[in-house]
Amino acid sequence: MTTITRFAPSPTGRLHVGNIRTALHNWMLAKKNGGRFLLRIDDTDAERSREEYVDAIRADLAWLGLDVDGEERQSLRLEKYQAAFDALLQAGRIYPAYETSQELDLKRKIQLGRGLPPIYDRGALNMTDAERAEKEAAGIAPHWRFKLDHSEAITWDDAVRGVQKFDASQLSDPVIRRADGSWLYMLPSAVDDLDMGVTDVLRGEDHVSNTAVQIQMFTALIAAQYAAAKMPRFAHEALLVGKEGKLSKRLGSLGCDAFRERDIEPQAIIAMLARLGTSLPVEPIADRSVLIDTFDLGKFGRAPARFDDAELDRVNAALVHQMDFAMAAPRLPEGMDEAGWHAIRPNLSHVSEAVDWWRLVIGPIDQPEFSDEDKAYVGEAASALEWSEDPWHGLTAAMKAATGRKGKQLFLPLRQALTGMDHGPDMGELLPLIGEAEARARLEQAAS
């Protein structure tokens, strides 16, 4: 059976790092098994959904290189949900409820006060036809709940958490449809998974209790309407936390826009999130096939996955140091060729920094104040400079022989005169890029 996974964001905002991680892991699970990765836009909340966010979700996935094998939109599938609703209603698995939110809050407080779990008491099931008619006559429209079967425990073998077991009587019958006729998450999601042939549902551990409820919903839908369908497998990964070990509101707003502003490479985000929360080390791996080959839900841990900006920066810098010229070229300053990229690349943490380092080649540079002794030294170097395939090592060898200088005294004044800096790219690679005439002019200027 072909592996089919899905990523199902609601277009009520931009993707954040937690969403990105979920999308990535579903993509990797599908790719590892030669399967399909689907995008489902959960836009049944018409008031909060925005088309601009749909476009942004697609753009962010494309920027990350997470290619989608198909897309569905829930807003175009309302007839499917109505058909499923009617089938479950006919099967006695859906019932109307009339409590207001205030009444439900009061019930929960009373239950908590009695030391009981704050679950729905199924009061609506005890209503008579006359009582329902009275509510309808008063203009009170019902919301609709899915009736859980309390006779059997809910169990599944989670690919991350192992065997899971829930007592259905300790769960609330979930509201699946509001009084205004709009849909909540539970039923449309189950219908879509069956319709789309989803084989694996991989999501955050905050959905574990939702899965318990949806397993009964899947069973009821298969019995009532989808006889040939199979229930997906489930896996729930630990949530992301900040480096301090606490849930961070910042992680909920940290998305692709923020990464792009920091000039973080998409490969760095992929390399980090691919293994965050697993027993495998986070490494600067640019080759996605390596990450896919080593992807294994069995290596996911139960402890929260810690997201650290410093670690992301470390991975990003390492990947920039590996990056070939062709990949970097569209973002490099005018005139920088492959030799220039090779010379400057080891000094970069982000590709955008190449502009500043390239100024060492094209100038102008700001030279420091030199002592009289160093002025004389770089003036002598201007005269000693002979252009060759390796002018830097020729120059330093000549100046060492002529002056007896060694180490920092030999190299630093020359670097300062030629670049204006105490550190930077390898001078053996940089000096040929500066060129003979410009190099001599800078040495003479420093000596004057």
- Mean pLDDT, residues 323-330: 97
424-447 pLDDT tens trace:
999 999 999 999 999 999 999 999
Strand residue runs (E) in 244-353: 305-307
DSSP symbols for 160-207: TTEEEEE-GGGSPPPEEE-TTS-B-SHHHHHHHHHHTT--EEEEEGGG
249 assigned binding-site residue: yes
**Predicted confidence (pLDDT) at residue 340 exceeds the cutoff of 90:** yes
- Residues linked to residue 202 through DSSP beta bridges, in sequence order: 235
Is the pTM above the cut of 0.95?
no
What is the sign, positive or negative, of the torsion defined by CA atoms of 17, 23, 29, 32? negative
Phi then psi dihedrals of residue 359, to 5 deg: -65, -25
157-182 pLDDT tens trace:
999 999 999 999 999 999 999 999 99
- How high is the pLDDT of residue 247? 65
Judge whether 300 and 277 are in contact, CB under 8 Å: yes
233-283 pLDDT tens trace:
999 999 999 877 776 777 877 899 999 999 999 999 999 999 999 999 999
Give me the domains of the chain, ranges plus CATH numbers: 1-70+238-322 (3.40.50.620), 362-447 (1.10.10.350)
* 108 band by pLDDT with thresholds 50, 70 and 90: very high
